[in-house]
Amino acid sequence: MVGGRYEWEVEAVDAMDAVNELRYIGHNVAAASHLLSNVSDSMLLEIFGTLDAAGDSYYRNIVGVEMLRRGMEPGGDVLSFNEGIDGDENNRP
């Protein structure tokens, strides 16, 4: 630990390092949320894009919640409520 923070929080890490850390953490939501709360917005977007929609849906959901908490719209294949299907706001899922 460096100054009360973990080394990976201080050093520059890439999205795959964070994804590997999420997989190591497993299904501990509190630990995963803590990890994600300490990355930048751009890193959070990169992590979300790195995760597989089907195979990593558990982690994508946690990342998506963190994005919403920060006022960001989850990217990828997630539709905006106002966007609807095929860009038609009257054709919402």
State mean pLDDT over 25-33.
92
Q: Domain count of the chain?
A: 1
The domain of 74 spans 1-93
Query: What pLDDT sits at residue 4?
Result: 53
Which bin fits 92, alpha (ψ -120 to 50), beta or left (φ > 0)?
Answer: beta
Q: For residues 76 and 49, what is the distance between their CA atoms, to the nearest angstrom?
A: 6
- Is the whole model's pTM more than 0.75, yes or no? no
Number of Cα atoms under 13 Å in the Cβ half of residue 79: 12
**Phi and psi for 85 in degrees, rounded to 5?**
-90, 135
pLDDT per residue as tens digits for the range 43-79: 999 999 889 888 899 999 999 999 999 888 886 444 4
